[in-house]
Amino acid sequence: MDLNETMHACGLACSTEGKATVSGTYFVDSLLANVCKLNVTRFPYEIARIAEDIAGGLLVTMPSALDFQHAQTGKYMEKLFGGIDGISTECRLRMLRLVENLTIGAGAVAYRTESMHGAGPPQAMKVMISRQANFNHKKSLAKNIACLDDVGVDC
């Protein structure tokens, strides 16, 4: 949810702060657009980390569906891998397979790589942010707020 809301908020911000060009086209605020893109590159990895933490070791040790269907082992699988009452073992394991697919499985490769590099590498976004963020002005504001000019401290 954070990922979608961040993209939405940053998309609105960079669009709202954008300006019309001489030709009449509209250009978003490049600094805010790069901040959005940089944040978006981090979230899928954090989502995967949290999902793997919650799911636990079953993501890499869960038996196959064939083990659950096997005449001899199926009843043990059902007993050992069942969860809370009202949620079938099959439902629980299907959800774990979905988490596996999106975090460490075949589906994760395209999703996470696209999230990282789909709008260019994060380092390029950091370069653009450092060029456009006017850090010297922000340092000056911080010095003023901290009243450092009054005491002659050079930071």
Q: Over the chain, what is the mean pLDDT?
A: 86
> Could you tell me if 81 and 89 are in contact, meaning their C-beta atoms sit under 8 angstroms apart?
yes
Largest CA distance in the chain: 82
- What's the domain count of the chain? 1
Q: Is 141 a domain residue? A: no
Domain around 61:
2-133
The pLDDT tens digits of the residues spanning 71-97 come to: 999 889 888 888 888 988 888 899 999
Q: Is 150 a domain residue? A: no
Q: For position 56, which CATH number holds?
A: 1.20.140.10
pLDDT for residue 70: 92
Tell me the whole-structure pTM to 2 decimals. 0.61
CB atoms within 10 A of CB 6: 16
pLDDT for residue 26: 93
Q: Is 6 a domain residue? A: yes
Q: Is 140 a domain residue? A: no
Comparing CA positions, the residue from 108, 63, 71, 72 lying closest to residue 90 is: 63
